[in-house]
Amino acid sequence: MPDIIQLLPDSVANQIAAGEVVQRPASVVKELVENAIDAGATKINIIIKDSGKTLIQVTDNGSGMSETDARMCFERHATSKIKKSEDIFHITTKGFRGEAMASIAAISQVEMKTKLRGEQLGFLLEMEASKLKQQQPVQCPEGTTIQVKNLFFNVPARRYFLKSEAVEMRHIIDEFQRVALTHPEIEFNLVHNGAEVFNLPKVPLRQRVVHIFGSRYNEKIVPVEESTDIVIVDGFIGKPEAAKRTRGEQFFFVNNRFIRNTYLNHAVMSAFQEVLPGGSFPLYLLYLNIDPSQIDINIHPTKTEIKFQDDRSIYAILHAAVRRALGRFSIAPSMDFDQEMSINLAPPRVGQQVKQPTIAVDNNYNPFQVKQEKESAISGWFRQREEKADGWKDMLQINHDIETQRDSKEMLQMQHQEQVQTTVEFDLADDVHPIQVQRKYILYATRSGLMVMDQQRAHQRILFEKYKEQFSEGRVLSQQMLFPESLQLSMQDDVLLEGFLGNLKNMGFELQRTSPGNYEILSVPMEFNVSDTQRLIEECLNSIKIEGSDFTEKAGEQLSWAMAISSSVRYGQMLTQPEMIDLIHQLRECAMPFTAKNKRPVFIQVSFEQLEQQFK
């Protein structure tokens, strides 16, 4: 049998490696900007065309490279950051693997101009699909300029899987923000298709946060400071009113490197537990400075995951730091440790007699006669403690059991809903009129039992299906604003929204961009409360981030729900007999009358058989 194992050609090996390093245009921006920072740049300019598909250009005023180094940087695993394996555990730079430039050159056309400080001439290199096309001396400024053109030109399948320009640009802004937030001492400039997106001067960290996310964030954030021998924690957390329904604005930085860590996120979320409603996510930008020898950053190709040697201590310190910041700024209740902990009794009233306290003693009590029930209870308590002590070993099995139970519960709920759909009866019984209870519920009798209906949720379901049908058929009517309302967004959301203004216009919203991050609302759908526009636009943007170019249907549903909620009857509103009867009949005509938003029930049906069982 002939030999079948052979070495891959360099071009193929580079393309395979590029699949790990370069996932989309944003990956190229991240690698090039990090290289510029490692080169000691104090000013970095980024030019993007067509969301990076056509051009990504990064210019810095860093140290530059010699002709030999410029050529060597395109070789695989060529780096100046490490020389032996032990250096991996003392990394202080952004990059160190030596894969970025080789991976980028394998799937694009690259042009580099670089010049060392103090030299007369620089050097030009042109690469295409890992092949050197040109190398010669040129006149250029000190530093390095790299142009990446026609990304994935030789891997059309990878280019096919890229998302729309708005979505890809959003990913570029994500990477840009993560780098800019860790280096406020560096000037950054980002231009997309000739329009300036960011122009960030050298400023303190708080001002850098405000420049990126908008001026309204200056009043929404509070500082976090904690210094220990293990880790130094600083940064900012958002006030509860700045919380959102998605995890968008949550950042961890370890030694000026952006990371993702669910364990540390849990520490922050648990600190916010008492001050945030369910389903809300706080804003935080937290910077952890730790000895590089205590972490391992070489566990993921993108270097966004880190192993900590003492993660439990870091968890406790981070949790305490966030709690302390919340308490210091009177956001969360805190204990007063200076208060005397003795019994604090109110002074007696005038004329009140003070009674001598008495002690009741059971003379028949024998401490050596312990009942069997107490023994079993105590032994059972210790048994539970032992089981809990060993329970962490079976955590994976417990999680599996929980997921299985959750799936079974959801299946039972679906079966119950299908059964309800076949048995529910909306028609009023003969000569029976509905009554309103607490101006919230509608109670009436049917031929088979009693129906209790939530008036607000019922009306929301009716309006939702009405508006959803209008959107699907293109019958949305708009109303012109007499005085346009202003809408302020972060730069990230601004770039994302700009690509979907046409979709929103089809839904009845007409927005005009007045300046970066600022819009005027010119028209909204009929019967829509304009005060809900800011929240609705943010929900639509979240749908874009999750669904990408396929968000239209989801956004239409969210818009329908928002309009239904803002236009429906409220709790506490009195309804007449004809209005209640009309509400019942309209709900009966709905395609899915059983639940409102977030799967909350619209009504409860109690059969006469169930009532009889209750009176037995």
**pLDDT score of 242:** 79
End-to-end CA distance of the chain: give it in Å, rounded: 84
Q: Residues 89-105, buried b or exposed e (16+ Cβ, 10 A)?
A: bebebbbbbbbbbbbbb
Of the two residues 475 and 407, the one the predictor is more confident about is 475
Q: Which of 269-278, 424-433, 541-550 has the highest mean pLDDT?
A: 269-278
Task: Assess whether pLDDT exceeds 80 at residue 265.
Answer: yes
Q: Residues 247-283, buried b or exposed e (16+ Cβ, 10 A)?
A: ebbbbbbbbbbbbebeebbebbbebbeeeeeeeebbb
**pLDDT score of 609:** 87
**pLDDT score of 241:** 80
H or E segment and range at residue 585: helix 577-588
Lowest mean pLDDT among 59-68, 191-200, 539-548, 592-601: 539-548
**pLDDT score of 595:** 87
Confidence tier at 1 by pLDDT (50, 70, 90): low
Of the two residues 509 and 318, the one the predictor is more confident about is 318
Rounded CA separation 235/226 (Å) = 10
Residue ranges in 226-348 assigned as alpha helix (H): 262-271, 311-328
Rounded CA separation 614/417 (Å) = 23
Task: Assess whether pLDDT exceeds 80 at residue 536.
Answer: no
Confidence tier at 337 by pLDDT (50, 70, 90): very low
Domains of the chain with bracketed CATH: 10-200 (3.30.565.10), 205-328 (3.30.230.10), 435-599 (3.30.1370.100)
The gap from C-alpha 423 to its chain's centroid, in whole angstroms, comes to: 41
| Span 31-40, average pLDDT | 90
Confidence tier at 102 by pLDDT (50, 70, 90): confident
Are 421 and 429 in contact by the 8 Å Cβ rule? The answer is no
Task: Assess whether pLDDT exceeds 70 at residue 358.
Answer: no
Rounded CA separation 249/173 (Å) = 13
Amino acid in position 372: Q
| Span 275-292, average pLDDT | 85
CB atoms closer than 10 angstroms to residue 389: 9
Long-range CB pairs of 556-562, under 8 A, 24+ apart, other chains included: 556/468, 556/471, 556/472, 556/507, 557/468, 559/467, 559/471, 559/507, 559/525, 560/464, 560/467, 560/468, 560/471, 561/460, 561/464, 561/597, 562/528, 562/532, 562/535, 562/536
**pLDDT score of 415:** 47
Q: DSSP 3-state assignment of 202?
A: coil
Sheet holding 518-525, edge to edge: 478-488, 518-525, 510-515
Confidence tier at 201 by pLDDT (50, 70, 90): very high
Task: Assess whether pLDDT exceeds 90 at residue 54.
Answer: yes
Task: Assess whether pLDDT exceeds 90 at residue 518.
Answer: no
**pLDDT score of 77:** 73
**pLDDT score of 23:** 86
Q: How far is CA 377 from CA 374, 384, 388, in A?
A: 5, 10, 16
| Span 212-231, average pLDDT | 88
Rounded CA separation 417/594 (Å) = 8
Rounded CA separation 556/553 (Å) = 5
Q: How far is CA 599 from CA 168, 302, 452, 603, in A?
A: 33, 38, 17, 12
For residue 601, the cross-strand partners are: 595
Residue 575: which residues within 8 A CB-CB, separation 6 or more? 436, 442, 455, 569, 583
Residues of the chain above pLDDT 90, percent: 26
Rounded CA separation 589/181 (Å) = 53
Lowest mean pLDDT among 56-70, 243-257, 333-347, 550-564: 333-347
Task: Assess whether pLDDT exceeds 60 at residue 405.
Answer: no
Q: DSSP 3-state assignment of 569?
A: coil
Task: Assess whether pLDDT exceeds 90 at residue 85.
Answer: no
Task: Assess whether pLDDT exceeds 50 at residue 207.
Answer: yes
**pLDDT score of 291:** 87
Of the two residues 433 and 36, the one the predictor is more confident about is 36
**pLDDT score of 110:** 94
- What angle (nearest 5°) sits at the alpha carbon of residue 371, between those of residues 365 and 374? 110
**pLDDT score of 418:** 45
State the number of CA atoms in the 13 A half-sphere of 281 facing the CB.
Answer: 12
**pLDDT score of 97:** 59
| Span 470-486, average pLDDT | 79
Widest Cα–Cα separation across the chain: 111
**pLDDT score of 285:** 93
Give the total residue count for the chain.
616
Task: Assess whether pLDDT exceeds 60 at residue 339.
Answer: no
Are 553 and 565 in contact by the 8 Å Cβ rule? The answer is no
Of the two residues 551 and 184, the one the predictor is more confident about is 184
Rounded CA separation 114/241 (Å) = 48
**CA-closest candidate to residue 146, choices 231, 44, 75:** 44
**pLDDT score of 179:** 93
| Span 104-116, average pLDDT | 92
The gap from C-alpha 459 to its chain's centroid, in whole angstroms, comes to: 32
Task: Assess whether pLDDT exceeds 50 at residue 396.
Answer: no
By 3-state DSSP, what share of the chain in percent is helix, strand and coil, each rounded to 5?
40, 20, 35
**pLDDT score of 334:** 41
- Assigned token pair, 287: 């910077």
Rounded CA separation 466/564 (Å) = 9
**pLDDT score of 370:** 47
Lowest mean pLDDT among 150-159, 318-327, 412-421: 412-421
Are 68 and 121 in contact by the 8 Å Cβ rule? The answer is no
Lowest mean pLDDT among 99-113, 149-163, 253-267, 557-571: 557-571
Confidence tier at 224 by pLDDT (50, 70, 90): very high
Residue 156: which residues within 8 A CB-CB, separation 6 or more? none
Lowest mean pLDDT among 187-201, 320-334, 590-604: 320-334
Rounded CA separation 207/60 (Å) = 22
CB atoms closer than 10 angstroms to residue 332: 19
Task: Assess whether pLDDT exceeds 50 at residue 250.
Answer: yes
How much is the mean pLDDT over the chain? 78
